Structure formats: C-alpha cells, structure tokens
Structure 1
Amino acid sequence: MSENIMLPHPHKIIDIIPETEDVYTFRVETSAKVKHGQFFQVSIPKIGEAPISVSCMGENWVELTIRKVGKLTNEIFNLKPGDKLFMRGPYGNSFPIEEFKGKHLVVIAGGTGVAPVRSFLKYFYENPDEIKSLHFIAGFRDEKNILFREDLKKFKTKFNTIYTLDRDKIEGFEVGLVTEHIKKIPFNSFEDYNVVIVGPHVMMHFAALECLKNGVTEEKIWVSFERRMSCGVGKCGHCKINEVYVCLEGPVFNYTKAKNLLD
C-alpha cells in the first residue's frame, strides 16, 4: 500500500531560538533530504497547517523560522523543546546552487524573506571558494524586526554586505528600502553572475525592476514565493496563478517566468 503523501508526521522539536518578539526559529528532528529553498507544510492537528520555508539544515534536523500571525502559529509558539510538531514535505523546487557556483552572486532579501536564503548563505559562508563573490543586501522594517543577528555579523566577515532598516538609524545599518541600495552593487564588474530576490511580493517586484534598470538581464534573476500554499502537491489549486501551480513549479522561479506571476 502506498504512503499517503498528505499525511503529516510528528517530529520532535530540538530547540527554539527567539529571533524577535514574534519570530522564532524552531529546530526540528527529521531525516528528510532537503534542498535550499524548499518548504514543509507544518501543522498541529485540529488547529491548521501552513507552509514554512527551511531556513537552515543539518544532520537529521531542519530549522523553520516562523512568524506569530494567527491561530496556528499562536499554538506553535506554545510548544517547547521535546514537544512534537507535525510536518509533511519537503515540497517545491530549490535554488539552482550548482549554477551559482564559480560565479558572482547577489542576494537581496527583505524581512522574513531572509529565512529562505539563509541556508545557502550559510553554505557559501562555509565554502567561500565555491563562489567568486557574494553581495548580500538585507532589509528589515526597524531595529526590533532584525532577524538572525549572529548570522548577519558572520556574513559581514566574508560577504559584501549592506544591511538596511526602513526607518531606524543604528550602527551597522543603512536607512531606506533595499531597492535604494541596489545601485551600489558593481554589476558592471561581474563577468558572470546571478541575482536572488526574496521578500514580500511588492518588494520583489520593485527590486527586480531596479536590477533590470542597472543592467541585469531577466534570466539572471531568481525569486521565491509561497503563494497561498495549501496542499503542497498540486491538488487543491490554492496556489495556482494563471496556469502555474506554485507548489509544484516553485516556490523558486526564474524571473523570465516570475514576472508574469508577481502581482
């Protein structure tokens, strides 16, 4: 009898790391083989289910960075290490890491959009020889919404980083939206490169336009989004945009296709 792919399984929470007041990272036991950019459907029985990107992975564990925004996430935030979280997956495609190797990489992320890119940023931090250079722009609303502070400090030591806040002025951070800082990236000096953009839809839309304005061609840009994911396996249609099932063909898209999917 074949296994029910829609059936979530319990996984033990190993650790919980508060990132901000309403964003926690949950380290969860799993033997699943996960690629950078994939997501799990996370649930609590009789409460609900939501798609959550993998923000880090290791030997028999993944980290899921979750914002407290409603009934399900309120319940998840009541869990403690040792408790079980129900998951199914991983689902979706992944960032084309092999294609990034040996080239320059520009990563532009806003808010919780830093979570889906964090795992491959950590990979290139640990394997810097596999990439020519890495420019990382990360933007947050204000000081209290900064995520992954320790990682940001580490990335600064090996990557070309620009960290920015929409309104607060604090040491180590610029002021303004990420789009305002894209012109600082020396695209003209790169012979071969890729650009990854992850964040709210409106941010990805305008960041991509800003990159195009600075000479980046569409096929060099990659975006990731989880639009109203529900089943994760292309059955329910919640994530369908035009004829595209985001859960099956995404959440990572080349901009040549994504430009028709962004609102």
Structure 2
Amino acid sequence: MITNEYIPFSSRILDITKHTAIEYTFRMEYEGKVRPGQFFEVSIPKYGEAPISVSGIGQGYVELTIRRVGKVTEEIFEHYKGDSLLMRGPYGNGFNLDDYRGKELVIVAGGTGLSPVRGVIDYFATHPQEVKSLTVIAGFKTPGDILFFQDISRWKKTANVILTVDCGEADFECQIGLVTEYLPQLTFTDISNTAAIVVGPPPMMKFTCLGLLDISIPEENIWISQERKMCCGIGKCGHCKINDVYVCVDGPVFNYTKGKTLID
C-alpha cells in the first residue's frame, strides 16, 4: 500500500507548561516509538509547518518545547489544552542511550538546546547506576531565559549540574559565565571512557567541542545535534543538505567525527 509521508495525524494537547514569555512546552498525545533528539513536524492548515525537537517522552505522549518566533509558532501558541494540532514524524536518528551507558557523561546545552537532550538527562538522572557519572552544563542568556527549572532542581539530586547565565545576577541557583568556562574544571577517572553531548547555537557548539578536545575527550566520544538545519523531515526539500548529507534523514544527531565536516 502506498502512503503519503506528508499527510499528518491529529494530536490532542494534553497539557501546556509556560517557561518564559515565548517558550512553552506542549504535551502532545502520541503512541509509538520515539527517542530524544528526534523531531516532529507540527502543522496548521494555511499557516505551514515547523520542525520541533522532542523534549520529553512518556507513556502516551511526547513533549515539544516551542519558541514563539514566526508565523507557524505564533499560531501554535493560540491553541490550548484540549485543542489539537497536526503532526507527522518522528524523524531523524536521535540519541542512542547505549552510546553513553557505563561512561562518564557530560552534556553541554545552550539555551533551547537543552530541549532535545532533556530526555537523555532525564533518563540517566533517573537511572544514575547506568553511567559512571553525569555532568550537565546548561547555559542561558539571562535568569529569565532558563528552561525546565523544576527538572534542573530534580537533576541536581543525582547529577553534577552547572547552571550558568551570560549576564544578570548570580545566585545559589545559577552562576555567571559562558558554558565553555567550566570545561577546564571537569575531572574524570578515565578520559577514554568519557562521552559528551553538545547542543546549542552554532558558535557555542563549535567552541564547546574545541574545549572538550582541549581536555582530551576523544572526538569519537562527542555527539552533536544539527537541529537548526531540520526542515521537511524526509530529505525531499533539500534545505537540510550539506554536501552529500541530509540532516533531516542522516541526523540531526551526529558523532563529532562526522558533524565537524558539516559546514554549510
């Protein structure tokens, strides 16, 4: 039977969590396999569609953290609990938890880059026995831009969490500075058994990866997400193509050995 991959399905909004004035998490009804780092296309007739990374996974639902930045997302924010949105997916390869089990894991996220790795952090913070250690460095522009505050407080119980802001006032919850400033402070019992995930704005990802290499983490032990290049989800529109790679299909998650070559 031939199916049309562009046809979406209807999904009911189960709940909405407001983080900032322009960033909400929508809990969407969904049954099926999905993993952190994958994404869905969320669409509204006459407005278009937008690729949104999965920020949470649970029984009968997925969570999508959405920033209000354009025509489609503006209209999404006009929908409320009990309403429905159109979705298709999930797309992409996501993060494979087996790549990090038994390792000293470092996750560095900038801004909304915390969304696609939230599921990875949640899993290992809840199952700390499956990693040697878990360190999370999350950076935001100001204290008012911080996402997932309740999750961060919970993660601190089983993980080393460094919450930092570029500017504003430091307090017991967060520090001042770029995420890269904290990399030289990291210590490991076995550097060859470390793993790192980096997601955020391109400049932040570039210098964070260089910082991880400077402290001798092997490049094959680093993973990144090129989520900002996600487009149609099935590699047909060509907007995500870099050389011979389609980010929507081959990514958005890449090992750094491949990801470092994806310069557009």
TM-score range, shorter chain: over 0.9
> What is the aligned-residue identity percentage?
52
Matched, 1:180 2:186: no
TM-score with structure 1 length normalisation?
0.97
The corresponding residue for 2:254 is: 253
The equivalences for 1:204-215 within 5 A come to 204-215=205-216
Q: Secondary structure at the match of 2:17?
A: strand
Cα distance in 2, alignment partners of residues 191 and 21 from structure 1: 42
Q: Which amino acid counterpart does residue 179 of structure 1 have in structure 2? A: T
Give the deviation of 1:193 after TM superposition.
1.4
The corresponding residue for 2:156 is: 156
Matched, 1:140 2:132: no
Give the deviation of 1:156 after TM superposition.
1.0
The equivalences for 1:121-132 within 5 A come to 121-132=121-132
The corresponding residue for 2:224 is: 223
Q: Secondary structure at the match of 1:234?
A: coil
Closer/same/farther in 2, CA of residues 67 and 213 from structure 1, 3 Å limit? same
> Which stretches in structure 1 are left out of the alignment for 5+ residues?
none
User: Which range moved further: 123-132 or 111-120?
Assistant: 123-132
Whether the 8 Å contact between 2:191 and 2:216 is mirrored in structure 1 is no
Closer/same/farther in 2, CA of residues 228 and 259 from structure 1, 3 Å limit? closer
Whether the 8 Å contact between 1:37 and 1:54 is mirrored in structure 2 is yes
Q: Which amino acid counterpart does residue 261 of structure 1 have in structure 2? A: L
Cα distance in 1, alignment partners of residues 164 and 153 from structure 2: 14
Q: Which amino acid counterpart does residue 46 of structure 1 have in structure 2? A: K
Whether the 8 Å contact between 2:43 and 2:85 is mirrored in structure 1 is yes
Q: Secondary structure at the match of 1:158?
A: coil
Q: Secondary structure at the match of 1:40?
A: strand
Whether the 8 Å contact between 1:205 and 1:262 is mirrored in structure 2 is no
Give the deviation of 1:240 after TM superposition.
0.4
Give the deviation of 1:91 after TM superposition.
0.3
Backbone CA RMSD of aligned residues? 1.2
Cα distance in 2, alignment partners of residues 238 and 244 from structure 1: 11
Cα distance in 2, alignment partners of residues 52 and 94 from structure 1: 13
Cα distance in 1, alignment partners of residues 178 and 86 from structure 2: 36
Give the deviation of 1:191 after TM superposition.
4.7
The corresponding residue for 1:115 is: 115
Whether the 8 Å contact between 1:32 and 1:90 is mirrored in structure 2 is no
The corresponding residue for 2:71 is: 71
The corresponding residue for 2:53 is: 53
Closer/same/farther in 2, CA of residues 262 and 164 from structure 1, 3 Å limit? farther
**After TM superposition, which residue ranges in structure 1, 4 or more long, deviate above 3 angstroms?**
187-191
User: Which range moved further: 215-224 or 185-194?
Assistant: 185-194
The corresponding residue for 1:24 is: 24
Cα distance in 2, alignment partners of residues 251 and 59 from structure 1: 24
Cα distance in 2, alignment partners of residues 245 and 227 from structure 1: 13
Cα distance in 2, alignment partners of residues 20 and 258 from structure 1: 31
Whether the 8 Å contact between 2:194 and 2:217 is mirrored in structure 1 is no
Whether the 8 Å contact between 1:165 and 1:175 is mirrored in structure 2 is yes
